[in-house]
Amino acid sequence: MSQSAGNFDDIEASVGAADRGDAEKEATLSEVEIGPDGYVPFDPVLSFQDNDLDDVGADAERASFYKALGAREGSHTVTERSSAVSLNWEDLCLAVKLEGGMCGRGPTVTKRILTNISGYVRPGQMLAIMGSSGAGKSTLLNMLAGRVPAGQYETSGELRVNGKPRDSFTFQKSAAYVEQEDRMFAELTVREQLEFSARLRLPRSMPLEKKRNRVEQVVRELGLSKCVDTMVGNAVVRGVSGGERKRVNIGIELVTDPSLILLDEPTSGLDAFQAQAVMLTMLRLARNGRTVVATIHQPRSQIFQMFDYLLLLSEGQEMYFGPAKEMVPYFAALRYPCPEYFNPADFAIDLVSLDMRTKSLEKQTRARIQFLADRFGERMQTMRRALSDSMGGTEPAKPRTRGNAFVRWFTGGWRSYAASWPAQLILLFGRSFKLAARQNFVNIGGVVQNVVFGLLLGLIWLNTGRNGGNDTAIAGILFFLLINQAFVAAFPVQLTFTLERGVVLRERASKIYRVSPYFLAKTSAEFPRLVLNILIFSILTYWMVGLNGFAGAFFLFVVIVVLTAYSGESVALLASAPASTPQAAAAVTPVLIVCALLFGGFFIGPNTIPVWLRWLRFLSFIYYGFNAVMINQFGSAPPGPDNPLHKYSINSFGIGGNIGFLIMLNLVFRFIAYVLLRTTGPKFDRSK
């Protein structure tokens, strides 16, 4: 079947639980007090002793809640949609293969993460997927969304959309997947975030005015009118509240007017009031004819009452599926009554959670979980005929062939992007330049940094060139200036590039745009800032040191330093493309630049380097930059053994040749960075 750039957050915990084999389970069951039918005692009072009992007034609040919603309790008035989506799944299983032994040389072991999960959800309904941490909630949601990473997992089971086997190319147009993390650009306003999503995801045939109208409709639906022109913000940039941020994250997916909405922990990180506001919004959307599926860990009673159906998981097994309001009577019939005034959601989570505090508690809770799984399995057998009928009874899915895939690709069916490549490039250019202009910390910091460095270096070597300073000193100055600017240019890029990686992965997973227009826009947006900083630095340093006094030589110097610094930036991009954190990129970038520095030609001449290593200088951007600035500075000096160009074994490529090699290295480094970025993106098994 099929997951998100998103995260299999609870797979590791599920795998850990699966490590205990059937033999241990049998031993466990034999040592626990079990009734003749497998019943295991459960004391909810002890289990809930630490819980907050503020939900005593839940029944009274429920009536007022439905009154605020504009519907009677249990009325569930639903607006029909022409593109409504019903989702059915039967016997979904997911397993991961783990290599055993040292260095993966042992036998491969298959671990079950999900086992025979079945259920359905209809238009106008909200389904909650609940369970303790590691139960498999996010994994199941990712299977329903078609976001299982390709090649990593074994999947089986049947999933149908409106009674027909799911086709990933059409499914993604009618479904929206909202990740748990609210990954957005802090420097963009709410309106800008939504408009960007709308212009790239709505059909290219739709007029721009209609796309903007759709954005305004989403703003009204989600209650974002008051903050629509406020930056989203983050820990550094002041922005919207946590609840508003969550709704913006949802709105980015809603601009396409999806019929199916899948949400991973939509209340995570929110206080009780904000969580209820977000879920009330989801309920309104469901009552407008949409199908809503959400994983949720431990909702308060008012939120739990909003859900029509509940799917309860534990250790990758299905504990309950059915109407949410029938969950308590179901467990009561199994002799697990929910105490009066207890939150049913808390009761359910505690009932199916594995307690690892002591060995005896682990054995008892594991036995209870197995008992509940067995009882539900028996119930599921009686439900299977109804479930099969609800799945439409259509013919099974035909296998996808390579020929069909080729025809789909050749005829343009492969192109599941709503916007054309040029439109993607233009919009990404606009966003990248806007972000670069609004990153005040980076912009102001860059200017201050270059002013300080320029003045400091200029004062240290003040008038060295005019006072007939020795050639070695001037060569050292030129070499140091190049190194300084290479590092200064690299650090901001590796920081911003990796920080926005999460947003880009989310957008790529939703197939909003291709990698190539994003990469072109991102790398181009940094260039004006780079040129401005180097111009400030060069004006201060060049004239204070007293380098070649011709105006043409100064402008050539600026061009060479810009290209050298741009190469340092290219190296940072190359290191950052596969890196998941700024720390990982920061560990690689300095190593690559220092290697270029060692073969730069100042510390050790090319003829002094061992023969088998000399070729590496041709991969050093510092080498070409240093040769170019040396020719620019000493090109008019008389030939001879005392000529600095001879002393430092400057190549014969000339300024133009060295600039050409700098440009070529930039292109090579950035192409490699592009390939790395493209290959490290989210890849889902679309065939399932």
Output the DSSP codes for 413-456. TT---SS-HHHHHHHHHHHHHHHHHH-HHHHHHHHHHHHHHHHH
Contacts of 235 (CB under 8 A, 6+ apart): none
Name the nearest CA neighbour of 176 among 239, 125, 114, 249. 249
Quick check: 144 and 293 in contact, CB under 8 A?
yes
Distances 593 to 418, 432, 587 between C-alpha atoms, Å: 40, 26, 11
Element (H, E) at 372: helix 359-390
The tokens of 513 are what? 């745009």
Residue 407 pLDDT: 40
Q: What is the dihedral of CA 262, 85, 72, 129, to 10 degrees?
A: -30
Distance CA 623, CA 600 (A): 4
Residue 10 pLDDT: 44
Distance CA 186, CA 556 (A): 38
Name the nearest CA neighbour of 363 among 622, 679, 32, 104. 32
Distances 343 to 69, 300, 302 between C-alpha atoms, Å: 21, 7, 9
Residue 309 pLDDT: 96
Domains of the chain: 11-180+265-410 (3.40.50.300), 455-511+542-679 (no CATH)
Residue 103 pLDDT: 56
Quick check: 175 and 258 in contact, CB under 8 A?
yes
Residue 514 pLDDT: 92
Task: Decide: helix, strand or coil at residue 311.
Answer: strand
Residue 138 pLDDT: 92
Backbone φ and ψ of 88, nearest 5°: -130, 140
CA end-to-end distance (rounded Å), the chain:
4
Residue 515 pLDDT: 92
Q: 10-residue block means of pLDDT along the chain (688 residues)?
A: 40 41 44 64 52 37 38 50 84 83 64 90 95 90 87 85 84 88 91 95 92 94 92 87 90 92 90 88 92 92 94 93 94 92 92 88 89 89 63 41 40 62 94 91 89 92 80 90 92 83 87 92 91 94 90 94 95 88 86 91 82 89 94 84 84 93 95 91 61
Task: Decide: helix, strand or coil at residue 61.
Answer: helix
| Cβ-based burial of 556 (10 A; exposed 0-12, middle 13-18, buried ≥19) | buried
Residue 532 pLDDT: 94
The tokens of 529 are what? 């800032």
Give the residue carrying structure tokens 């140091």.
Answer: 480
Distance CA 19, CA 24 (A): 10
Residue 396 pLDDT: 39
| 3-state SS string for 132-151 | CCCCCHHHHHHHHHCCCECC
Give residue 42's identity as a one-letter amino acid code: F
Residue 14 pLDDT: 43
Distance CA 143, CA 114 (A): 10
Pairing of strands 126-131, 309-314: parallel
The tokens of 248 are what? 């913006």
Contacts of 448 (CB under 8 A, 6+ apart): none
Give the residue carrying structure tokens 């300024």.
Answer: 655
* Residue 398 DSSP code: P
Distance CA 18, CA 3 (A): 21
Task: Read off the pTM.
Answer: 0.78
